Amino acid sequence: MSFTYILFDLDGTLTDSFEGITKSFNYALKALCGYEENDQDMLSGIIGPPLRDLYIKNYGVTPELAEKLIEKYRERFSTVGLYENKVYDGVPEMLAALKEKGKVLALASAKPEEFCVKILRHFDLFKYFDETAGASLDGSCDTKEKVIEEAVRRLGLTEETKKEAVMVGDREMDILAAHEKGIAVAAVGYGYGREKELKACKPEFFVSNVMELEELLLH
Other CB atoms within 10 Å distance of the CB of residue 93: 12
Write phi, then psi, for 39 (nearest 5 degrees).
-75, 120
For the question of residue 89 being annotated catalytic, the response is no
Q: How far from 35 is each of 21, 38, 55, 72, CA to CA, in Å? A: 16, 9, 13, 14
pLDDT band at residue 141 under the 50/70/90 scheme: confident
- The predicted-structure confidence for 29-56, as pLDDT tens digits, reads as follows 999 999 999 998 889 888 888 888 889 9
Q: Are 47 and 16 in contact (CB under 8 A)?
A: no
Pick the range with the lowest mean pLDDT from 105-114, 132-141, 209-218. Answer: 132-141
Would you state the pLDDT for residue 17? 95
Q: What is the mean pLDDT of the chain?
A: 95
CA distance 131 to 5: 11
Quick one: three-class SS letters along the chain? CCCCEEEECCECCCEECHHHHHHHHHHHHHHHHCCCCCCHHHHHHCCCCCHHHHHHHHHCCCHHHHHHHHHHHHHHHCCCHHHCCEECCCHHHHHHHHHHCCCEEEEEEEEEHHHHHHHHHHCCCHHHCCEEEEECCCCCCCCHHHHHHHHHHHHCCCCCHHHHEEEEECCHHHHHHHHHCCCEEEEECCCCCCHHHHHHCCCCEEECCHHHHHHHHCC
Would you state the pLDDT for residue 177? 97
Q: How far from 73 is each of 28, 96, 185, CA to CA, in Å? A: 5, 33, 30
Would you state the pLDDT for residue 68? 96
Residue 196's contacts (CB-CB under 8 Å, 6 or more residues apart) are: none
Q: Are 145 and 157 in contact (CB under 8 A)?
A: no
Choose, from 9, 11, 142, 170, the residue flagged as catalytic.
9
pTM of the model: 0.93
Would you state the pLDDT for residue 219? 85
Decide if pLDDT at 119 tops 80. yes
